[in-house]
């Protein structure tokens, strides 16, 4: 195990995994409480179109994925807030069309692309030095924005209407939140993979939700669970030679079921209703 840590690629993967675990858990706390997990899945699948386009145009796929995911997030947000279409319908439309676009683009490329496979299911060896810097920069930006708008994000997640009534710019905070989701998805896809990134957004926070009735404690627990899942999953995937994204997600799912089975929420019945 110690010798494993001396490999530079493993150090990079573990550092990246830790950062991803933190960012996904923090944003996931809002996703779970506001019921945005389907939007998360939609944004994650949109990144497929972005990554594929990046390969076709021979530019950094992360860059095109950021553009694609932000565009999709805002598109879903705009359509849903206008109220012409339900939120989950909007997600369904964007979900499929961005995926379809990605598949179309892959068809235009010649031959099979190993790198693309890494983006789909995650890869430890694929995390380069520049990827680590990118992940570090983006996750720092996400965490900084959460810190700056902490009270507004909490209020809008809890009660958006009341937030708007009391003069909090609720609409803009909502767009900030889905933008943060989009960025978090993109910074995670190298390690976890497009297919499974939305699970990492939801599962650690969902496990933490089972264990506490305090918002800050929920976020802190989610971070702990997220980091344990990422690091544990990466080490396991190396040992078992399995896909890192799948292993990370399954570790977090195991923690979720453990948390749910000892949840005080199940024991403590509400009085009054």
Partner 1 sequence: MNEKGPIIELEHVKVAYQDLLVLDDVSLTVPAGSFLAIIGPNGAGKTTLLQVILGLVRPASGRVRIFGKVPAELDGERRRIGYVPQILSVDVNFPVSVREVVLMGRYGRMGLFRRPTRGDYRAAKEAMERVGVVDLADRPIRRLSGGERQRVFLARALANEPDLLLLDEPTTGVDTASSEGLYELLRVLHASGITMLVVSHDVGVVASYVEGVVCINRRLVAHGRPAEVLGSDALSKMYGCDAMFFHHGRVPHLVVERDQ
Interface residues with partner 1 (CB under 8 A)? Answer: 33, 148-149, 151-152, 154-155, 158-159, 161-169, 209, 212-215, 217-218, 265, 268, 270-273
Task: Identify which of residues 70 and 218 has a Cβ nearer to partner 1 in the complex.
Answer: 218
Phi and psi for 154 in degrees, rounded to 5?
-65, -50
* Residue 47 to residue 184: CA distance in whole angstroms: 11
Helices (H), strands (E): how many in the chain? 13, 0
Q: 189, 43 in Cβ contact below 8 A?
A: no
Task: Identify which of residues 100 and 165 has a Cβ nearer to partner 1 in the complex.
Answer: 165
In angstroms, give the least distance from the CB of 213 to partner 1.
4
Task: Identify which of residues 130 and 166 has a Cβ nearer to partner 1 in the complex.
Answer: 166
Q: Which two tokens stand for residue 12?
A: 């990079």
Q: Which two tokens stand for residue 135?
A: 């992940």
Placement of tokens 């993109």 in the chain: 186
CB within 8 A of 147, min separation 6: which ones?
none
* Residue 113 to residue 123: CA distance in whole angstroms: 14
In angstroms, give the least distance from the CB of 266 to partner 1.
12
Task: Identify which of residues 68 and 155 has a Cβ nearer to partner 1 in the complex.
Answer: 155
Alpha-helical runs (H) found in 58-196: 61-82, 87-108, 114-121, 129-148, 150-165, 170-192
Task: Identify which of residues 8 and 268 has a Cβ nearer to partner 1 in the complex.
Answer: 268
* Residue 32 to residue 10: CA distance in whole angstroms: 31
Task: Identify which of residues 84 and 110 has a Cβ nearer to partner 1 in the complex.
Answer: 84
In angstroms, give the least distance from the CB of 209 to partner 1.
7
In angstroms, give the least distance from the CB of 77 to partner 1.
18
Q: 137: how many CB neighbours lie within 10 A of its CB?
A: 12
Q: 40, 220 in Cβ contact below 8 A?
A: no
In angstroms, give the least distance from the CB of 226 to partner 1.
17
Task: Identify which of residues 89 and 214 has a Cβ nearer to partner 1 in the complex.
Answer: 214
In angstroms, give the least distance from the CB of 261 to partner 1.
18
In angstroms, give the least distance from the CB of 157 to partner 1.
8
């Amino acid at each position: 195990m110690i010798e494993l840590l001396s490999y530079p690629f493993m150090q990079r993967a573990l550092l990246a995994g830790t950062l991803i675990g933190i960012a996904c858990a923090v944003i996931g706390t809002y996703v779970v409480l506001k019921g945005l997990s389907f939007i998360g899945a939609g944004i994650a699948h949109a990144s497929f179109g972005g990554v594929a386009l990046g390969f076709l145009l021979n530019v950094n796929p992360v860059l095109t994925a950021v553009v694609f995911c932000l565009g999709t997030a805002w598109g879903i947000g705009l359509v849903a807030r206008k109220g012409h279409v339900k939120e989950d319908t909007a997600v369904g439309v964007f979900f499929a069309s961005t995926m379809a676009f990605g598949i179309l683009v892959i068809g235009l490329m010649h031959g099979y692309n190993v790198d693309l496979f890494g983006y789909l299911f995650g890869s430890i060896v694929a995390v380069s030095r520049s990827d680590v810097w990118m992940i570090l920069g983006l996750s720092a930006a996400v965490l900084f924005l959460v810190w700056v708008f902490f009270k507004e994000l909490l209020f809008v997640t809890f009660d958006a209407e009341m937030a708007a009534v009391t003069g909090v710019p609720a609409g803009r905070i909502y767009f900030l939140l889905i933008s943060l989701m989009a960025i978090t998805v993109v910074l995670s896809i190298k390690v976890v993979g497009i297919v499974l990134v939305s699970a990492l957004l939801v599962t650690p926070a969902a496990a933490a939700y089972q264990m506490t009735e305090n918002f800050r404690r929920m976020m802190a627990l989610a971070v702990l669970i997220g980091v344990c899942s990422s690091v544990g999953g990466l080490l396991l995937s190396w040992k078992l030679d399995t896909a890192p994204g799948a292993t990370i997600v399954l570790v977090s799912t195991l923690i979720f079921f453990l948390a749910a089975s000892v949840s005080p929420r199940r024991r403590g019945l509400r009085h009054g209703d």
